[in-house]
A and B are shown apart, each in its own frame.
Chain A
Amino acid sequence: METLFTPWHSLFGGILIGSAAVLMLWGCGQILGVSGLLSRLLPPWSSSQDIKVRVAFVAGVIALPLLAMVSGQVSSIPPVNGNPLYLGLAGLVMGYGTVRGNGCTSGHGVCGISRLSQRSIVATLVFMATAAVTVYIARHLLGWI
């Protein structure tokens, strides 16, 4: 399915994402990496970590679309394949990979690259390339999406 090319919206959205990452580091001393912030809310917990900061961040991420939805600014977005088994399997592999590889699009892709971390640059190239190959197979060879 075609989607509209939205360079200005995307650039502006990217600027917001970058600003949030700067705010998080400046105020809380934390890297804004969603997989890291989220997975550290799961057991086993480490006592040295600031759980409340993570909960507050996650609450903010959920609160915004909730407010936008209630005020009619956004409507719901369909998945590319609605099969629950398909989505569940994709979620399992995606979640596993982000924690095993120590980061996702935000942690490695935005923050890590901005800090010129070699690990993040390598991880981002690997997950982008893998995702592109996966889309090719799932869409053009198997017709799943």
Chain B
Amino acid sequence: MRLVISFIAGLVFSAGLVVSGMANPAKVVNFLDFSGSWDPSLAFVMIGAIAVASIGFRLVGENSKPFSAPRFDLPNRKDIDRPLISGAIFFGVGWGLSGYCPGPALVSLVLSSQAMLSLFPMMLLGMWIAKKTA
């Protein structure tokens, strides 16, 4: 059952990326380009997603356990450490250069397969290096 739920969550998430324009790197780059052809659309993605998630998470939090898993697996760290900041900086550079973050990169395996021939395996390599050197 949990696999079905997870698969459906993947479908809905992916539909959200495609419909919202997050899967289009030109739109992402224009959202980040305040001094040129600024396209504020993606601010609306964040507003919609955060509005739904903050209410939904609160409701889910009233349950003692997930519907089809033994327990909630939530991050509980509070400290602002160096890896958090340096990681966010590296991520921002790669995101700004390409317009792809990990979700849209997955969607782009289909919608932009040519570009993903190099970006996707290199992204996985970067993730693996960060894991190994953590």
Write the nearest CB–CB distance from A123 to chain B, whole angstroms: 4
List the A side residues contacting B130 at CB < 8 Å: 39, 95-100
List residues 37-61 of chain B with CB under 8 A from any CB of chain A.
37, 39-54, 56-57, 59-60
A13:B48 contact, CB within 8 angstroms: yes
| CB neighbors of A among B90-120 (8 A) | 90-103, 105-115, 117-120
Q: Tell me what chain B mostly uses at the interface: helix, strand, loop, or mixed.
A: helix
Tell me, in angstroms, the Cα distance from A5 to B27 when the chains sit together: 9
Interface residue total, chain A, C-beta cutoff 8 A: 117
Which residues of A approach B to under 8 Å, CB–CB?
1-32, 34-35, 38-39, 42-44, 50, 52-54, 56-66, 68-69, 74, 76-82, 84-102, 104-106, 108-119, 122-124, 126-136, 138-140, 144-145
Query: Footprint of A on B, CB under 8 Å?
Result: 1-27, 29-30, 32-37, 39-54, 56-57, 59-60, 63, 65-75, 77-80, 83-103, 105-115, 117-132, 134
